[in-house]
Amino acid sequence: MWLLDTMLKKLIRTGRLVVTDHDGKTYTYGAGTYGAGDAADGALRIRLTYFKAARHIATYPQVGAGEAFMWGWLEVESPHDIRDLVLFFTEQSKTHGDRALQPQGQLKRLVQKVAARADAINPRGKARKNAEATYNLTRRLYELFLDEDRQYTMGYYRDPANSLEQAQLDKKAHIAAKMNIRPGMKVLDIGCGWGGLALYLNRRYGCEVLGVALAEDQIAFCRERAKSAGVADKVRFELCDYRDVEGQFDRISSVGLLEHVGTPHYPQFFRHTHRLLKPEGVMFAHCCGRAGPPGFTDAWTRKYIFPGGYIPALSELVTASERAGWQVMDVEAMRFHYSHTLKEWYNRTVLHRDEIVELYDERFYRMWLFYLAGAEQSFRHGTLVNWQLVYVKDRAALPMTRDFMHEESARLRAAEEPPAWHLDPALKQAAE
């Protein structure tokens, strides 16, 4: 425990943390309180249930803490939960800087950086394997914590009080407006997820859409949705690497894809999409991003959630695209929208704990909670944002001012509302 004790004494500067080791000894850090309406002494309390837990956490906090929680070696005592604990340590890192919970020592940081860079190399076979590991989980899992349209990316919270369903519908309107689509256009949706954006674009504009992704069950589900909607002839989905797509398109969209491409492949991505887009076309990209310089993905996330994944800095996206001949016409930093989205995903995961444990096991449920809580705090208190970029070959492809985006977004929002049952769980249950 001495190693963890030494680390926590240096780290804890705000709030109060009480740690009970496996042998019953307690250690207190910080002199403040945590939150409101908490335990009588205002402390956040955790218990370490296994004799190896303290050393495992202290050796490399980003991996060790997550694994200790997954394995049941670390318990957060009521009235708090793992989200509170992650928030607590995020607040400490704000005081100490982003390196507070990073592997200590130049050698450790160098090893992690090299490993992350190597993991970002995603040839076709590895890219498909990574996509399957991330997105071929049980369909029911995603139904339990995502919105009705299965949007597994940031919702656009025009009002933080909005429902998740409203935020995701507003996001699709925001994206479509930026793409400046005209009826009948041909659109390529790279990394199409469960088909929500592709079907939305067809529904609102009557355009022909090709969606491509690498997770087999996602594509199967997309095809089922298109068939059910009676638009399978207009909205097609293919199990296909974007590098194998041929043809010419009026518009190209990628939402939540660039995080999986890998920085070594950015030049190839931008060159190939440049070939696919018509001269007067527009490409739109939405991805998680860093508000600072380039970095590397932490080992826990690479190992358990997004193998091969990397969240890019704006400089990396712009530099690679410019070299391929693209002109960047619009950039928007979406700052806190994803934190609201992730909080709702977390709450829905907790609500469906029993079913998720039955689908998988307790270890998976704990892993998912840690992932969602950690991601939320990175977007809420860390330096992560979402980037939305609009690219063109010819700068005359878009209107002269951004007014067209706001006007079209308002028109789309007025044309469609989310299902009524998002306001009342009883209505949803009746609909099912």
Could you tell me the strand order of the sheet in which 74-76 lies?
26-29, 17-20, 44-48, 74-76
pLDDT at position 124, please? 59
Instruction: Look at residue 94 and tell me whether its pLDDT is greater than 90.
Output: no
Q: Which helix (H) or strand (E) holds 431?
A: helix 425-431
Those residues with Cβ within 8 angstroms of residue 244's Cβ, 6 or more apart along the chain or in another chain: none
Six-digit token string for 103: 């592997």
pTM of the model: 0.89
Q: Which helix (H) or strand (E) holds 90?
A: helix 82-96
User: Please, are residues 4 and 25 in contact by the beta-carbon 8 Å criterion?
Assistant: no
Q: Give the tens place of pLDDT for each residue, 361-376.
A: 999 999 999 999 999 9
Domain 124-335+381-431 has CATH 3.30.200.20: no
Cα(50)–Cα(109) distance, integer angstroms: 28
Domains in the chain: boundaries: 2-104, 124-335+381-431
pLDDT at position 422, please? 52
Instruction: Look at residue 317 and tell me whether its pLDDT is greater than 80.
Output: yes
Instruction: Give 312's DSSP letter.
Output: P
Those residues with Cβ within 8 angstroms of residue 378's Cβ, 6 or more apart along the chain or in another chain: 90, 384
pLDDT band at 262 (very low <50, low <70, confident <90, very high): confident
Q: Is 103 exposed, middle or buried (0-12, 13-18, 19+ CB in 10 A)?
A: buried
Tell me the helix, strand and coil percentages in the chain, rounded to 5. Answer: 50, 15, 35
Could you tell me the strand order of the sheet in which 186-190 lies?
235-239, 208-213, 186-190, 249-255, 277-290, 384-392, 327-334
Q: Give the tens place of pLDDT for each residue, 156-192.
A: 999 999 999 999 999 999 999 999 999 999 999 999 9
pLDDT at position 13, please? 85
Write down the H helix ranges in 230-313: 258-261, 266-276, 299-304
Cα(193)–Cα(153) distance, integer angstroms: 9
pLDDT at position 204, please? 97
Q: Which helix (H) or strand (E) holds 27?
A: strand 26-29
pLDDT at position 330, please? 98
Six-digit token string for 122: 């995603």
Cα(36)–Cα(54) distance, integer angstroms: 28
